[in-house]
Chains A and B, each alone.
Chain A
Amino acid sequence: GNSVTQMEGPVTLSEEAFLTINCTYTATGYPSLFWYVQYPGEGLQLLLKATKADDKGSNKGFEATYRKETTSFHLEKGSVQVSDSAVYFCALSFRTGNQFYFGTGTSLTVIP
C-alpha cells in the first residue's frame, strides 16, 4: 500500500540552528511528494513539492530532494527562525483517485 513515515517529534531547536525532518514513503508507482506546514489554529499550507526523482523543491529557505533510491523526501533548512514553529506534514499523492496520504506530522518549536 501507500504510506508516509515521518520522524517523531516534537523537535525543539534554537534560532539559527540547522533543521532536518526525515520522511520516507512506500508507494506503488511514482508519486508526487509534498511538504505542508500547519500553524496553530490554521489549515495546511503547501511549503514545497517535487514531482519526480531527483527533483528538489524549495521555498522560504526550506529544501527537500525526491530520492527514489532511498524512497525519502527529507526536509531541511539551514537556519531556522522562531516564525518557523509549526507542525510539518510530509505527503504523497497520485493523480489517479485524487488521494493524498499524510505522515503523522512533526511539531517544531524554535526558541530564541
Chain B
Amino acid sequence: DTEVTQTPKHLVMGMTNKKSLKCEQHMGHRAMYWYKQKAKKPPELMFVYSYEKLSINESVPSRFSPECPNSSLLNLHLHALQPEDSALYLCASSTDRENTEAFFGQGTRLTVV
C-alpha cells in the first residue's frame, strides 16, 4: 500500500463553520505534512509532524489547527476561515530516512463561502 488517502475530496464551508480534513497512510511513515496549493502555484508547506509531534509550523494562522492522533492519521481542523483560504489542501508523508521522497494524497478541494 503506497497510498495517502484524504477525505473529503471536496468541501464547501461557510466562514462560521467548523470542519476537519483527514489524511491516512499505512506505509509506516513517521513524517506527515500539510500543504496548501492555490491555483497555478506550487504547494506551500503549512505543518510537519515528525513521530507524531509538530516539528514545523510555517506561521500558519490559528484558524488552521493540525492534529496527529497516531502515526497513521493526520487531521487539519478548520474554524472561521476566510474566502482567501479556498485552495487545494494536500497531505503527504515520508520516511525519516535520507534521500526519501514524499508521497502525496489527492487533496481536498476547499471552498470557503
A interface vs B, CB < 8 Å? 32, 34, 36, 41-46, 49, 51, 89, 93, 95, 97-100, 102-105, 107
Contact = CB atoms under 8 A, between A and B. Distances in A.
Interface in B54-99: 55-56, 90, 92, 94, 96-99
B12 interface: no
B56 A102 contact: no
Contacts of B11: none
A95 B100 contact: yes
A44 B6 CA distance: 13
Given A43-B105, A46-B101, 15 more contacts: A32-B98, A36-B104, A46-B102, A46-B103, A51-B99, A89-B43, A95-B98, A95-B100, A98-B55, A99-B48, A100-B102, A102-B42, A102-B43, A104-B41, A105-B40
B111 interface: no
B106 interface: yes
B99 A98 contact: no
B56 A44 contact: no
A111 B42 CA distance: 24
Nearest to A48: B101
Contacts of B104: 36, 43-45
B89 to A, nearest CB: 10
Nearest to B43: A102
B7 interface: no
Contacts of A95: 96-100
Contact of B107 (A42, A99, A103, A104): A42
A96 to B, nearest CB: 9
Interface centre among A44, A46, A89, A104 (most CB of B within 10 A): A44
